[in-house]
Structure 1
Amino acid sequence: MKKSFFIVLIALFFISSAFSQSNFRIGVNAGIPVGDIEEFTTFQLGADVAYLYPVSNLFSVGALAGYSRYFGDDVSTPLGNINVDDISFLPIAASARFGFENSLFVGADLGYAVGLDDGNDGGFYYRPKLGYAFGPVALIASFSGISVDGGDVSSVNLGVEFGF
């Protein structure tokens, strides 16, 4: 618990620092769980904040912090129905993007997702992205994965991002 609290404090520090800068981004996304988790959850919702520093006209790097929740499902077993609890994470990651001349971009987030539930230790976080920017607003398709003990928590997502 102390470890999670410390990581949340670090994330809040980075977020508050980003508010005073340009290239600040806020995004929301929804997804369909896939892989190991798809039988136990129904859908995923998430939000994140990021600061991206432009290294060149087409390449940016920065930091990202967010919140992701996988909503549990009722699972039928021979012994009866089991209600699976929701699973929540706080991803903290390095972020990079490469833009093309036509507003299309690719990117990736790599870091650690802190587990916010009892018995959820978190794990390695990765999220490749493909997006299209309409000025300060971008539509993003992504695959989000968290490597946890015994498997992966993954989803295919669609989202929108607002730049400031």
Structure 2
Amino acid sequence: MKKLLLVAVFALIGFGVQAQDGFKIGVNAQLPVGDAADVYSFGLSLDLVYMFEVSESFDAGITTGFSNAFLKSEFKDFGDPAQFIPIAAAARFKATEDFSIGADLGYALGINDGNDGGFYYRPIVGYDISEMAQLTLSYSGISVKDADFTFSTINLGVLFSL
């Protein structure tokens, strides 16, 4: 399964290199909320996105990346950081010239031991701060497989067009 994931990630990166007009890369600071906030203090994530223009105001595409949530100090002896690789379909609607709303839906692969991943969803809003950069605010939820637990974060990031 992990070999398949690596092939998919490199294929996405390679595809983006061939047609960079829709390729984007982003970084996010994450604040765990809900049950995740009991165990994790903060997180960092990387986004790789390729968007296709469907119409003047609507884009669709694919996204992947890497997310790492750090354990609170009192839990460091009991486990590992939560690590996920989301693979999702992405949709964005351009509400105004600088403001967009959208969502990512897919599956987040769990990377660390005992983490099976789960259904991934991420509503997102973006504000263009320049022609090449967008400030993003999003909520990420991962309904962890075989557990009564949703790993949730509020994310603030920047997305760069390449």
Normalising by structure 1, we get a TM-score of 0.91
- Partners in 1 of 2:6 and 2:74 — Cα distance? 32
- Partners in 1 of 2:31 and 2:48 — Cα distance? 21
Name the amino acid aligned to 2:101.
V
> Greater CA deviation, 98-107 or 38-47?
98-107
Q: Is the 8 A contact 1:89 1:116 kept in 2?
A: yes
Q: Which residue of 1 aligns with 2:89?
A: 94
Q: CA deviation at 1:102?
A: 2.9
Q: Helix, strand or coil for the counterpart of 1:85? A: coil
Q: Select the structure that is richer in helix.
A: 2
- Partners in 2 of 1:115 and 1:74 — Cα distance? 22
Percent identity (aligned): 41
Q: Which residue of 1 aligns with 2:157?
A: 159
- Partners in 2 of 1:84 and 1:61 — Cα distance? 37
Q: Which residue of 1 aligns with 2:74?
A: 75
Say if 2:144 is the partner of 1:145. no
Q: Which residue of 2 aligns with 1:55?
A: 54
Q: Helix, strand or coil for the counterpart of 1:102? A: coil
Tell which structure's C-alpha radius of gyration is larger. 1
- Partners in 2 of 1:119 and 1:83 — Cα distance? 12
- Partners in 2 of 1:124 and 1:23 — Cα distance? 25
Normalising by structure 2, we get a TM-score of 0.92
- Partners in 1 of 2:90 and 2:9 — Cα distance? 14
- Partners in 2 of 1:40 and 1:132 — Cα distance? 31
Q: Which residue of 2 aligns with 1:20?
A: 18
Give unmatched runs, 5+ long, in structure 1.
Answer: none
Q: CA deviation at 1:83?
A: 4.2
Aligned to 1:125, which of 120, 123, 128?
120
Q: Is the 8 A contact 1:53 1:62 kept in 2?
A: yes
Give unmatched runs, 5+ long, in structure 2.
Answer: none
Q: How many residues align?
A: 158
